[in-house]
Structure 1
Amino acid sequence: MATSPESEHPIKAYGYAARDPSGSLSPLVFSRRATEEKDVRFKVLYCGICHTDLHLAKNDWGITKYPITPGHEIVGVVTEVGSKVEKFKVGDKVGVGYLVGSCRSCKNCASDYEQYCPKQVATGGFTYFDGTQTYGGYSDHMVSDEHFVLHWPENLPLDSGAPLLCAGITTYSPLRYFGLDKPGTKVGVVGLGGLGHIAVKMAKAFGAEVTVFSTSMAKKQEAIEGLKADHFINSRDEDQMKAAMGTLDGIIDTVSANHPILPLLGTLATHGKLVLLGIPPKPLDLAAFSLIMGRKTVAGSNIGGLKETQEMLDFAAKHGITADVEVIPIDYVNTAMERLLKSDVRYRFVIDVGNSLKAE
């Protein structure tokens, strides 16, 4: 007989969970493990809502195990530490992102690329090493091995900073890895949503000249005046796309809907890189000739390792980078999910867990 969520571990926890593919979230009593010697326990104060949360709640990828408590953009304050914890103390402000576990011994882990570990454990809805399920940040508290806990910079706001734990590192990492972090580099950003608006801010902080691509002309003012992008291109306008041919060193493509990438490749200069962050449901239409003529690269990137994520948080604090957010109480979460599905948010929902989640 399967163990119930509230009896797997000794410490009672409370959160919101989806129980079936409807994705509807409602209160759930579950349990978390006792604080082990290398564990950090913290009270959750804020948790961002990522599109991945919606996919998992609705089992869009066919991998969800119910009940699932989502949430991997989590910030809070430490309430207890294990006897061998070295980096944190009670009262510290901390964050936890998409990962709470990895093997710590493979080549990827040894190179600080835990996000590519074949035995990685995601924060909510996946199987931990002890065989129990992980529960994410739509909950009153968290416990994690200290390796996967991040120091929160003092001058970084908790609410608008929370989405950096996913959207921030997901855009920062490819800019760094693919050499698009140099002053004067010409960087394109495709899509102006939760990821895209952070990509613009990160690239500008690196000193890049930023061009935003969007199918919506309504976003031009936001891009230029609000986010200080240098250029805006309506990607459906053939003349604008033609004028941009061969001008960009790299493109960060954040769009998860099906969209043509051949026109984007045309805007890359020789040796240019198109980095995919979104996951469209259908395979890409890619002609080899478009890569060969210019030694261009199509690449992908997924979040970042723990070392790089800490580096990103410190960079964001130094440059005043936060997400544009709408803070909500947890009982609004289902409405927020419906709005997220319609892209009706500028640009990230963040749940005020600390002030709105009360155990019944």
Structure 2
Amino acid sequence: VQRVFVDLYEKGHIYRGKRMVNWCPKSLTALSDEEVIMKEQNSKLFYFKVQVVEEPGTWLEIATTRPETIPGDTAFAVNPKDSRYGHLVGKHAIRPLPVENQAHLPIVADEHIDIEFGTGVLKVTPAHDKVDFEIGQRNGVEAIEVIAANGKMNKLAGAELNGMDRFEARKVAAARLEVLGSLIKQEDYKNNVGFSERADVPIEPRLSKQWFLKYPSQKQARDCVANGSMKFYPDRWSKTYNYWMGGLQDWCISRQLWWGHRIPVWYRGEEVHCALDAPKGEGWEQDPDVLDTWCSSWLWPFATMGWPEKTETLKKFYPTTDLVTGPDIIFFWVARMIMAGYEWMGDLPFRNVYFT
């Protein structure tokens, strides 16, 4: 597992960066997209208004399911083609929370805003929403984190919300908006919310420094199913596989857990050392994170038979003929095994996949 990490790191497939990740506030670890289960929830949609600084008496109406994140807002976004708001781009509006820091935020233009959805105005919270993070990056606005790793509000959320659970803070924030005269209405709303597969709690989109993997051998893995070299039974799963392979995103492979394969990277000041063995000299500290469990599972077809040594068992049984598995792990395991097989063995790992 660590040998593969070092190999991919040297090839430029693995990198470390601060990006928006799925965060489990119960397990206190990052999660991959495949570890997030979407569930329909009965939520509330809160409509509130903010006043344009340069035009007193002009208000923007905004709808949100998460008023507790308002203290983390750093901009308001509209579509530049929206005739209702285009003239306001470049001006500012007053963020109502926290009460002690009602900041003047820029009104920015972003073509990704859906004119037909909601009011057409979006509160931009770059530290707590993936779409907002991208809007913030495009428009150069800062990210303010107001929810801590454990799901509780921090001091930047304001004195009233500081230390409060995020869901309790939602109620308190809505009540404060009403007192301020900013809350217009609230209504029942059904939406899909991401849950941690293991902890079964709503995840938090969160900016975090993690290790990411750009999948190797993507083309070979996609082509082998498309051209029939590998067959799926029933065949309908090949469409699901192809759809997923066409939208691959970098895999967040680091986890903040106390078990697992330790990441083979050491730091000393600004120096970074990635190798199978610890560097010589004093002052080096190994990265405390471990690798996602699937970082070992995707090597199963050849790692179990002696790889990287060219054993007789490996020569005899790789590639194998059949794999029987469940369709629920077509992405977690099957697709990754195929990519790993092409990357390190130069061939697909099996000829037929039977989904039961």
Is the TM-score greater than 0.5?
no
Q: TM-score, normalised by structure 2?
A: 0.24
Q: TM-score, normalised by structure 1?
A: 0.24
Q: Which has the larger radius of gyration?
A: 2
Which structure has more RCO (C-alpha within 8 Å, separation ≥ 6)?
A: 2
